[in-house]
């Protein structure tokens, strides 16, 4: 929490335009702190799409609040469906957590309008979004609080780390306090001998980022624009070679959306009726790693509540068809072609197998 953390926070603030940027130990820590700083706790509900990484829901549960899952728009747009978000709001709704899937902004106009009408806070899970914009604003800076992850596979990769941003002074103050045990003086002030005593005014955590990873993050941040541009090139090539062929399709369309996304993931939708596991196995045999973002949270044992669960038809429709292809800035166009060839062959094989069954 010395000069390198401060340098990173200033650089992140400058880059995103967020008045307050606080470095934290992970994206999960960012989400946990955001919920606590907004006063979410027992008796409150937090609405979030089920199609997200489980960290958001886990954080809601661990502050004592109840997650309420809402649907996504569908195969053409894997972000939150604003109409279903509105339908999930109840008298106890305290906050929304919205994901910008793969770095594509969700419908922030609709989300923030609904939130303002109903007095609900908006937490942006911007783990996929560094460098992406919506209406010219950095993702993560439109809602009440924005949460970023710097995990190894993210757009600003450092191992473990994250950032939480806000424009609200009082929220920033609570985030700062809770990040380091609720202590009234900072680690660095004490280290320098500027403060020898401290009080603890709220039970907090150690969610600090260290100097070494802060230095890495500042360097990675300086490379972000180039890295995101390379990601875009690869995504465009995937789309050019695969979109509309063999029943494959890509979520998110339009030149402006493609240009403003951070392209954290290259996700393709498989046609109905082919086995995703079979395709993944074939690709694995060719040393091509694929993944799934995400198994929807409502299907996990810990979240499979017995009664009163909301219907999530679009999430259930896309959940078994989404496939994440390899994507990283320094892959070559030859690498992309290799994946395209492998996937095309695997889909053909699966399709002829399902036709003969």
Ligand X SMILES: Cc1ncc(COP(=O)(O)O)c(C=O)c1O
Q: How far is the CB of 12 from ligand X (least distance, A)?
A: 15
Nearer to ligand X among residue 98 and residue 186 (C-beta):
98
What minimum distance in Å lies between the beta carbon of 125 and ligand X? 5
Cis peptide bond upstream of 294, omega within 30: yes
Helices vs strands, H then E, count in the chain: 13, 13
**Of 94, 118, 114, which Cα lies nearest the Cα of 46?**
94
* Gap between the Cα atoms of 156 and 167, Å rounded: 22
Give residues with Cβ within 8 angstroms of 3, minimum separation 6.
211
- In the complex, which residue's CB is closest to ligand X? 27
Least separation, in Å, of the C-beta of 331 and ligand X? 20
CA dist 104 and 255 (Å) reads: 12
Least separation in angstroms between CB 160 and ligand X: 6
Question: How many alpha carbons lie under 13 Å from residue 234 in its C-beta half-sphere?
Answer: 28
Shortest Cβ 293–ligand X spacing (Å): 8
The residue (of 88 and 126) whose beta carbon lies closer to ligand X is 126
Nearest to 99 by CA among 235, 253, 262: 262
Q: Which two tokens stand for residue 50?
A: 């089920």
CA–CA separation, 204 and 181 (whole Å): 4
User: How many Å apart are CA 109 and CA 116, to the nearest integer?
Assistant: 11
| Pairing outcome for strands 66-70 and 45-49 | parallel
94 flagged as catalytic? no
The site for ligand X (CB under 6 A) is made up of: 26-28, 52-53, 55-56, 99, 125, 127-128, 149, 151, 162
Name the pairing type of β-strands 162-166 and 145-149: antiparallel
Angle at 23 between CA 197 and CA 138, to 5 degrees: 140
What's the CA gap between 38 and 348, in Å, rounded?
Answer: 50
- Is 84 or 125 the residue whose CB approaches ligand X more closely? 125
* Shortest distance, position 327 Cβ to ligand X, whole Å: 14
Q: Which of 20, 154, 231, 314 is catalytic?
A: 154
For the annotated catalytic residues, the residue numbers are 154
């Amino acid at each position: 929490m010395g000069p390198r953390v401060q340098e990173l926070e200033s650089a992140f603030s400058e880059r995103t335009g967020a008045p307050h940027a606080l470095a934290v130990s992970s994206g999960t820590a960012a989400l946990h702190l955001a919920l606590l700083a907004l006063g979410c706790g027992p008796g409150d509900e937090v609405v979030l799409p089920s199609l997200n990484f489980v960290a958001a829901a886990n954080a809601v549960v661990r502050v004592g609040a109840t997650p309420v899952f809402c649907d996504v728009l569908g195969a053409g747009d894997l972000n939150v469906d604003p109409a279903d978000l509105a339908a999930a709001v109840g008298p106890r709704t305290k906050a929304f957590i919205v994901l910008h899937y793969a770095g594509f902004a969700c419908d922030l106009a609709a989300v923030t309008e609904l939130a303002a009408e109903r007095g609900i806070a908006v937490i942006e899970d911007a783990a996929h979004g560094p460098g992406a914009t919506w209406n010219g604003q950095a993702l993560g800076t439109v809602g009440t609080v924005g949460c970023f992850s710097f995990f190894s596979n993210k757009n600003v990769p450092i191992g473990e780390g994250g950032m939480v941003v806000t424009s609200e002074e009082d929220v920033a103050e609570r985030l700062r306090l809770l990040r380091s045990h609720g202590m009234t003086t900072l680690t660095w002030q004490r280290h320098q001998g500027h403060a020898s005593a401290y009080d603890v005014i709220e039970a907090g955590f150690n969610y600090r980022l260290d100097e070494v990873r802060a230095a890495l993050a500042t360097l990675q941040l300086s490379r972000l624009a180039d890295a995101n541009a390379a990601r875009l090139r690869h995504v465009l090539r995937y789309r050019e070679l695969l979109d509309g062929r063999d029943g494959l399709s890509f979520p998110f369309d339009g030149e402006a959306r493609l240009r403003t996304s951070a392209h954290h993931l290259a996700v393709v939708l498989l046609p109905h009726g082919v086995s995703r596991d079979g395709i993944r196995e074939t690709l694995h045999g060719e040393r091509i790693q694929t993944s799934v973002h995400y198994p929807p949270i409502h299907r996990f044992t810990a979240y499979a509540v017995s009664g009163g669960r909301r219907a999530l038809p679009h999430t259930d429709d896309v959940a078994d068809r989404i496939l994440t292809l390899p994507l990283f800035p320094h892959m070559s166009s030859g690498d992309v072609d290799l994946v395209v060839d492998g996937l095309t062959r695997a889909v053909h094989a699966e399709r002829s197998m399902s036709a003969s069954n």
